[in-house]
Amino acid sequence: MPTPTEAQLRADIVEVGRRLYARGYTASNDGNISVRLDGERLLMTPTSVCKGFMSVEMMCITDLDGTKIAGDRNPSSEMKMHLEVYRQRPDVKAVVHAHPPIATGFAVAGIPLDRAVLAEVVTTLGSVPIAEYATPSTAELPASVRKYVKAHDGILLANHGALTMGPDLYGAYYKMETIEHFAKISLVARMLGGERLLSREEVGRLETLRGSYGIASPAPICPEPSGADPLDCQVVLSPSAPAGQRLVRESDGGEIRLTYSELTALIEDAVRSLK
C-alpha cells in the first residue's frame, strides 16, 4: 500500500474525529488522535476543539518529544500519552484516545475487559487491561500506560477512558470501536448472569487463525493448562505486541516481570503447596 500523503492523513484524522463524536465516544472537546507523518514527525489534533467538527488545517505537527513544529494551534496535553506509545512501539503508526461510555464505565468500575469470550476480539485485540488512574495532562498519565503499551493495542484508563493504537489511523480507530462493542456485549452478558468463557482449546484454535489472517502471534495468548478450571482462560497479549513480551505484575510495590511459562510454573507451585 502506498504511504498516504500528509493531505490524506489530515483528511483521515478529520473523518476519524467525526466518527468518534457521532458514535458518542467523545463529548465536547474530549479525545485526541495522532499519526506518524514520517520517522521524526507526528500529525495530531489540537487542544480544545470538538473532534466532531474539525477541519484539515487545524492539525498540528510535532516532533517525537511533542515540541510543535507547525500549526496555528497547540497539541493537547494528553498527547504525552501518545508520545509514550510511539516511543515504545515502532510498529504503531496511529493512536486514538476517547471516552466511550460503556468501556469507560468498566474503567470506572475497575473491571478490565480481559475475558476470552468473543472470537473476533481474541484474534484482533486480545485483552484490554486497566492502567492505574493518573491525573489527565500530567506526566503521571504516560507513566501509567507505560507498562501496558508493549503488550496491548487497547488499554482502559482508570476513571478516564480508553487508548488504542494501530498500524494506521483506521486500524487504531477500529480498535476503539471493538473495545466499546466488547464492553457493551460484556455488560449485557453480566446482566444476564455472566459470560461463558471460551475453552483453552478454542482459544488455541483462534491463535492459529491469527496466523492465517496475517497477524503474527508473538506468544501463547492463553497460558498452558495448569490443572485449574480448563475454561479459565484469559487472553493476555495483543496480536501485534513484539515477540518475547513479558507479563508485568505488581508485587509489594515493586515490579516483577514474568514470562508465561514462569507465571504458569508459579501458579502450579502455589496450587501444589495448597494440596
Minimum distance of Zn ion from residue 227's CB (angstroms): 42
- 12-20, 65-73, 159-167, 260-268 -> range binding Zn ion (CB under 5 A): 159-167
Nearer to Zn ion, 126 or 161 (CB): 161
Instruction: Give me the 115-154 binding string for Zn ion, x by CB under 5 A, dash otherwise.
Output: ----------------------------------------
- With respect to Zn ion, which residue has the nearer C-beta, 146 or 246? 146
Strand order, beta sheet including 154-157: 68-70, 60-63, 41-44, 32-36, 94-98, 161-166, 154-157, 130-131
Neighbour count for residue 114 (Cβ, 10 Å): 16
Smallest separation, CB 74 to Zn ion (Å): 16
Q: Which candidate, 171, 185, 163, places its Cα nearest to that of 102?
A: 185
Return the range that interacts with Zn ion (CB under 5 A); candidates 53-61, 119-127, 155-163, 250-258: 155-163
Q: How far apart are CA 25 and CA 162, in angstroms?
A: 10
Respond yes or no: is residue 78 known to be catalytic. yes
Burial class (CB in 10 A: 0-12, 13-18, 19+), 50: middle
52 contacts: CB under 8 Å, gap ≥ 6: 17, 18, 20, 21, 22, 26
Closer by beta carbon to Zn ion, 28 or else 261:
28
Q: Which residue, chain included where needed, has cell 478454542? A: 202
CA nearest 96: which of 169, 26, 33? Answer: 33
Stretch of residues binding Zn ion (CB under 5 A), selected from 103-111, 138-146, 156-164, 174-182: 156-164
Please name the residues in contact with 245: beta carbons below 8 A apart, sequence gap of 6 or more: 150, 151, 218, 219, 237
When the beta carbons of 31 and 223 are compared against Zn ion, the nearer one is 31
Residue number of the CB closest to Zn ion reads 161
User: What's the min distance (Å) between Cβ of 98 and Zn ion?
Assistant: 7
Instruction: In angstroms, give the least distance from the CB of 40 to Zn ion.
Output: 26
- The CA distance from 140 to 135, in Å, is 6
Q: Which stretch binds Zn ion (CB under 5 A): 15-23, 161-169, 219-227, 247-255?
A: 161-169
76/217 with CB nearer Zn ion: 76
Q: Which of 15, 40, 78, 224 is catalytic?
A: 78
Task: Based on the shown chain and the rule CB under 5 A, indicate whether residue 161 belongs to the binding site for Zn ion.
Answer: yes
Q: Smallest gap, in angstroms, from Cβ of residue 248 to Zn ion?
A: 23
Residues with catalytic roles: 78
Residues that bind Zn ion (CB under 5 A): 161
